[in-house]
A and B are shown apart, each in its own frame.
Chain A
Amino acid sequence: MTQESALSTPLEVEELETETVPLNVGPQHPSTHGVFRMVVKLQGETVVDLDPVLGYLHRCQEKLAEGRTYLQSIPYTDRLDYVCAMTNNHPYVMAVEKLAGIEVPRRAECIRVIMDELTRIMNHALLVGFLLNDMGAWLTPVQYGLREREKILDLFEMASGSRMMCNYMRFGGVARDLPEGFLPLLQKVVDDFPGFIDDYEHLLTTNEILRSRCKYVGILPPDRAIAYGVTGPVLRASGVAYDVRKVDRYSLYGELDFDIPVGTVGDTYDRYLVRIYEMRQSIRILKQAIERLKETPPGEIQSKVPKTLRPPAGEAYARIESPKGELGFYLVSDGSEKPYRWRVRAPSFVNLTPLAEMCRGHKVADLIIIFGSIDITMAEVDR
């Protein structure tokens, strides 16, 4: 058949069937923030269904911890979500403190709050950068975010000795008191940061491309968000003002004055905005925490804890508001020096559950943005 006759043959449209095309995204893909695989069913370019495949980074941490003492597990919690090691230490030491009935001195609580909030602004600055990376704004926003993160990492390095694997918190306090010269640098970060967020907002918030790519993409309605157990900025972007810092009032948060930003629609744009405003609130918290820290006597950073900790038989569940959502540790003790069960309730893992529901009906390019806006670290998802 010549080309001409092929073109002139009328197509019988009714007899043609459309088929969905399975497409494999990952496990090694620049937009998956780690090793994550999605099997996507496509109708044309529209996502019909999505099946996430996990476990490429599974390191059996829960099993490993059962063979270690309580103290030896702290370095392993750093490696759950390697972007925010400090907030990973916190719920774990809280759970052990609940289990063994250990008091924490006030100065240590101040330091913990400072470290948590620094982690939060660091994580959000980085995430917004990477979200723009996924959108195609290659490297400029993420460079700005990385630059600010660098300053915070320097602070972590001064206090704990390591930039990312901090291993800083201990049962009943923190490992060491803040070093000399820490507070002036922290003050500098606190003073500079609002300007950086303004820069970021000028660069991004009203940008036409960002708005047209993000608005009404990946909507998660509030009732579905609650049903799926989604927490953190993703939940608050959906309009549910639930924050463990306000609800549980752990550590110092009960006496600090800060507001919770809430979204209205629950789309990717709201998730971006909630994070921007959360950074501003974290700066507010930092200022108050520094004030309170200065009132406490230096050196009182850890209460008396036996060298080999043997908590009484029982169980404890402690949770905090980590930058990604509710991070919880469920520990079961049988009275020995090793935990009987060591379970992590990872926010990245649970927040990923409604991914298929959020992506259905969107285009492939939107899939990457929705995935990026949930904010996950695969190390925490797979554990």
Chain B
Amino acid sequence: MTFTVPRHDEFRFPGWGLLKGLWVTGKHFVRSYFLRNRRIPGKELFPGGRYGLFIVQYPEEQAPIPDRYRGLPILLYDDATRAELCTACMSCARACPVGIIHIEQGTDAEGKKIPYAASFTIEYDVCLNCGLCMDACAFGSIVLDHNLKTARTRREDFRMTKEKLLRPISYYEKIAPSLWAEMREEALKRLAGTINRRPPDVGRVPRKVAEG
């Protein structure tokens, strides 16, 4: 159940411990020239073993990013119909621990609510990357990007409006295939329902933006 750690109080030839340590560092030093134990993009995260060079020369090469990587939140739209998945249900805004998601629901001419976000802003500079917004979203609309280059020069640039946040589903399918596969069916089914409840040209990404 318990054991006492040995304190190595016995006599040793002076310098023996130092030599042993040098042997370890020497082993690592020599083997680092012959073993390139690298993390290769698209392959295994690490090949295993204790010796070799474990360094990835960022930005020339980049370690693989797993599907579940939690970057900054983005919004999705459907490639074919250009329809936004977001219905302005406010679940993500309520789930956000720091309250940086601001949504305004769209209305028609008579003031009746339509399921689409007239404006959708996220303050990127305060984001915790916690992913609670993604967990809260029932429509698969708000997801987390894999972009690592998030530096900006001015604070205002971190206020991301809807136009800057929207990405096509095909983009997300490419970066996180396993996560999209989990929510694909539900998201597309709900999207079909949402489109039916919207006027024909509302809540769609302009053709120009969608085509680049």
**A contacts, CB < 8 Å to B:** 68, 71-76, 140, 144, 147, 150-151, 154, 157-162, 165, 167, 175-176, 179-180, 185, 188, 191-192, 195-196, 199, 202-211, 215, 241, 246, 259-265, 269-270, 273-274, 276-277
Main secondary structure of the interface of A (DSSP, over half): helix
Please name all residues of chain A whose beta carbon is closer than 8 Å to the beta carbon of B25 when the two chains form the complex. 140, 203
Please name all residues of chain A whose beta carbon is closer than 8 Å to the beta carbon of B40 when the two chains form the complex. none
Give Cα distance in the complex from A1 to B17, angstroms. 54
Name which residue of chain B comes closest to A273, CB basis. Answer: B5
Return 15 A-B CB contacts under 8 Å, by A number. Answer: A157-B69, A158-B66, A161-B68, A162-B70, A185-B44, A188-B46, A188-B48, A192-B49, A196-B50, A203-B24, A246-B1, A260-B1, A260-B2, A262-B3, A262-B4
Please name all residues of chain B whose beta carbon is closer than 8 Å to the beta carbon of A158 when the two chains form the complex. 45, 66, 68
- B68 with A68: CB separation less than 8 A: no
B149 to chain A, nearest CB (A): 17
- The A-contacting residues of B in range 77-113, CB under 8 angstroms, are 95-97
Please name all residues of chain A whose beta carbon is closer than 8 Å to the beta carbon of B50 when the two chains form the complex. 192, 195-196, 199
Please name all residues of chain B whose beta carbon is closer than 8 Å to the beta carbon of A157 when the two chains form the complex. 66, 68-69
Of the listed stretches B124-132, B165-173, B203-211, chain A binds: B124-132
Please name all residues of chain B whose beta carbon is closer than 8 Å to the beta carbon of A160 when the two chains form the complex. 68, 70
- B16 with A206: CB separation less than 8 A: yes
Flag whether B123 is at the interface (Cβ < 8 A).
no
Name which residue of chain A comes closest to B10, CB basis. Answer: A206
Name which residue of chain B comes closest to A267, CB basis. Answer: B7
- B21 with A270: CB separation less than 8 A: no
- A265 with B7: CB separation less than 8 A: yes
Give Cα distance in the complex from A202 to B24, angstroms. 7
Mask, B1-44, CB within 8 Å of A = 1, is: 11111111000101111101101110010000000000000001
Query: Which interface residue of B18, B46, B144, B178 has the most chain A CB atoms within 10 A?
Result: B46
Partner of A207, one of B2, B17, B97, B132: B17
Flag whether B186 is at the interface (Cβ < 8 A).
no
Partner of B2, one of A175, A195, A259, A269: A259
- The A-contacting residues of B in range 54-72, CB under 8 angstroms, are 54, 66-70
How many chain-B residues does the 8 Å CB contact rule pick out?
A: 43
Not counting A75-B97, A179-B67, A185-B44, a sample of 10 additional A-B residue pairs whose C-beta atoms are within 8 angstroms of each other reads A72-B95, A150-B46, A151-B45, A157-B68, A161-B69, A176-B68, A179-B68, A202-B24, A261-B2, A262-B4
Give Cα distance in the complex from A207 to B20, angstroms. 8
Please name all residues of chain B whose beta carbon is closer than 8 Å to the beta carbon of A209 when the two chains form the complex. 18
Please name all residues of chain A whose beta carbon is closer than 8 Å to the beta carbon of B132 when the two chains form the complex. 71-72, 75, 167
Please name all residues of chain A whose beta carbon is closer than 8 Å to the beta carbon of B69 when the two chains form the complex. 157, 161-162
Count, A-B residue pairs, CB within 8 A: 131
Please name all residues of chain B whose beta carbon is closer than 8 Å to the beta carbon of A161 when the two chains form the complex. 66, 68-70, 131, 144
Please name all residues of chain B whose beta carbon is closer than 8 Å to the beta carbon of A269 when the two chains form the complex. 7
B8 to chain A, nearest CB (A): 6
Please name all residues of chain A whose beta carbon is closer than 8 Å to the beta carbon of B157 when the two chains form the complex. none
B208 to chain A, nearest CB (A): 33
Name which residue of chain B comes closest to A137, CB basis. Answer: B21
Query: Which interface residue of B7, B15, B135 has the most chain A CB atoms within 10 A?
Result: B7
Using known A-B contacts A179-B178, A241-B2, determine if residue A202 contacts B8 with beta carbons closer than 8 Å. no
Give Cα distance in the complex from A68 to B5, angstroms. 45
Please name all residues of chain A whose beta carbon is closer than 8 Å to the beta carbon of B14 when the two chains form the complex. 208
- B131 with A167: CB separation less than 8 A: yes
B44 to chain A, nearest CB (A): 8
Query: Which interface residue of A144, A167, A270, A277 has the most chain B CB atoms within 10 A?
Result: A167
Name which residue of chain B comes closest to A308, CB basis. Answer: B94
Please name all residues of chain B whose beta carbon is closer than 8 Å to the beta carbon of A205 when the two chains form the complex. 8, 17
Please name all residues of chain A whose beta carbon is closer than 8 Å to the beta carbon of B3 when the two chains form the complex. 259-262, 277
Name which residue of chain B comes closest to A180, CB basis. Answer: B178
Give Cα distance in the complex from A207 to B23, angstroms. 12
Name which residue of chain B comes closest to A209, CB basis. Answer: B18
A232 to chain B, nearest CB (A): 15
B5 to chain A, nearest CB (A): 4
- B68 with A262: CB separation less than 8 A: no
Query: Which interface residue of B1, B14, B44, B144 has the most chain A CB atoms within 10 A?
Result: B1
Name which residue of chain B comes closest to A239, CB basis. Answer: B4
Give Cα distance in the complex from A90 to B20, angstroms. 40
Please name all residues of chain B whose beta carbon is closer than 8 Å to the beta carbon of A273 when the two chains form the complex. 5-7
Give Cα distance in the complex from A161 to B129, angstroms. 9
Using known A-B contacts A154-B45, A158-B66, A207-B17, determine if residue A262 contacts B2 with beta carbons closer than 8 Å. yes
B188 to chain A, nearest CB (A): 21
Please name all residues of chain A whose beta carbon is closer than 8 Å to the beta carbon of B97 when the two chains form the complex. 68, 72-73, 75-76
A359 to chain B, nearest CB (A): 22
- A204 with B21: CB separation less than 8 A: yes
Name which residue of chain B comes closest to A160, CB basis. Answer: B68
Partner of B23, one of A202, A211, A276: A202
Please name all residues of chain B whose beta carbon is closer than 8 Å to the beta carbon of A175 when the two chains form the complex. 131, 135
- A165 with B129: CB separation less than 8 A: yes
Name which residue of chain B comes closest to A76, CB basis. Answer: B97
Query: Nearest 10 A-B pairs (CB), nearest first?
Result: A206-B17, A75-B130, A161-B70, A72-B97, A161-B68, A273-B5, A207-B17, A241-B2, A203-B24, A260-B2
Give Cα distance in the complex from A192 to B51, angstroms. 11
Mask, B130-156, CB within 8 Å of A = 1, is: 111001000000001000000000000
